[in-house]
Amino acid sequence: MTGYEQLQANLRSRPLRWLVTGGAGFIGSHVVEQLLSLGQRVRVLDDFTFGHRRNLDAAASANHHSLEVIEGNIANADACTHAVADVDHVVHLAALGSVPLSLEKPELCHASNTTGTLNLFMAAHAAEIKGLAYASSSAVYGDDSLPSKREDSIGQCLSPYAASKRMNEIHAQTWHTCFGLRAVGLRFFNVFGPRQDPNGAYAAVIPQWIATMKQGHDVFINGDGANTRDFCFVRDIVQAQLLAATTENESAFGDVFNVGLGRGTSLNELFSTLKALIEESSDQIVPPAIHRDFRPGDIRHSCADATKIQRILGFTPQHTVMDGLRETVAAF
């Protein structure tokens, strides 16, 4: 039995009270869905700027009675204090999650990601919560040149979004050192899965490409397509968050961990796989991708070194990229 399987068995036998900030979002709704399926009582704090009530409807299904939704923003300290009341564990995902948007509106990024997270840390400490997992990002690696990213090697931040996530990590370490807050950070790489929004200027590549292919439009690849990314299915991200929020390993508190499969997939491979899956599931013929110039600042290779999270938190990915893509295409 893996550590995650043991955790699920423990939660089923002893339901706890959870807060999920940003629970109406793509990743957050999958956390909510898993917790409800394990018989937990879940409270969501979300202002619905980026999240959708339809995600919560899909996540809750027959378990609406165990779900409480508070509409509010983590930038409001009182909303955080109210949300953590009588809660055992917290999964913190609420954020302005776009690098381009952070460049356009750095003040909004700071208010949401930095001030909001500090508000939540203070409220969680005052409420004496048992454990808190928060979302950081591979963006903190900035211009670090290592193709396989290690937690102890980061470069210069290249966006206000990256800076806000790095500040969250510093606050978490400080609040653990000074006040004993049991916070664990998770650096997400390229997360994908059902419910990921394909629309808008800041849509992630996988849902955007699926929607484009299904609509019969051309797919554009920036550069030669040999750039690689560590794509991780959303349910493996959920596993990491539940392990982090409930860990009793003292060495994890105040620390941060990569979450990924530990191997890269090129954009050319991704396109070919999605093309094959869509043509397999329909009569549609997807045209070849069109290559255009590299985007300035694009990182050539980005992959997570997942050794640390496997060793300390017992994280064991359960889905291959192909498994996740097949389910994601089917969901669309």
Model confidence pLDDT, tens digit, residues 63-95: 778 999 999 999 999 999 999 999 999 999 999
pLDDT at 38: 97
The whole-number pLDDT of residue 201 equals: 66
Average pLDDT of the chain, as a whole number: 95
What pLDDT was estimated at residue 241? 98
Res 60 pLDDT > 70: yes
| CATH class of this structure's domain 3-189+234-260+305-318 | alpha beta
Q: Identify the pLDDT of residue 57.
A: 95
Confidence grade of residue 299 (pLDDT, cut at 50, 70, 90): confident
Query: In this structure, what token pair is assigned to residue 266?
Result: 């090129």
Given the residues 134, 141, 161, 202, the one annotated as active site: 161
Please indicate whether residue 4 is annotated as part of the active site. no
Model confidence over 8-53: pLDDT tens digits? 999 999 999 999 999 999 999 999 999 999 999 999 999 999 999 9
User: What's the confidence (pLDDT) of residue 203?
Assistant: 74
pLDDT more than 90, % of the chain: 89
One-letter identity of residue 322: M
d(CA 28, CA 55): 9
Q: What is the pLDDT of residue 151?
A: 97
Find out whether 55 and 29 touch, Cβ atoms under 8 Å. Answer: yes
Residue 250 has pLDDT above 70, yes or no: yes
* 265 three-state secondary structure: strand
This prediction's pTM: 0.95
E strands, the chain, are: 17-21, 41-46, 67-71, 89-92, 131-137, 148-149, 183-188, 190-192, 220-222, 228-229, 231-233, 256-259, 265-266, 290-292, 301-304
Given this model, what pLDDT does residue 332 score?
86
The rounded distance, in Å, linking the Cα atoms of 130 and 91 is 12
| Of 184-193, 241-250, 279-288, 310-319, the least confident | 279-288
Confidence of residue 174 (pLDDT cuts 50, 70, 90): very high
Residue 292's SS3 state is: strand
Q: Are 84 and 124 in contact (CB under 8 A)?
A: yes
Q: With 70 as the cut, is the pLDDT of residue 297 above it?
A: no
Integer Cα distance of 185 and 25 in angstroms = 19
What pLDDT, on the 0 to 100 scale, is given for residue 224?
95
pLDDT of residue 200: 72
Nearest of 187, 200, 96, 97 to residue 149 by alpha carbon? 187
Q: Work out the average pLDDT over 281-291.
A: 92
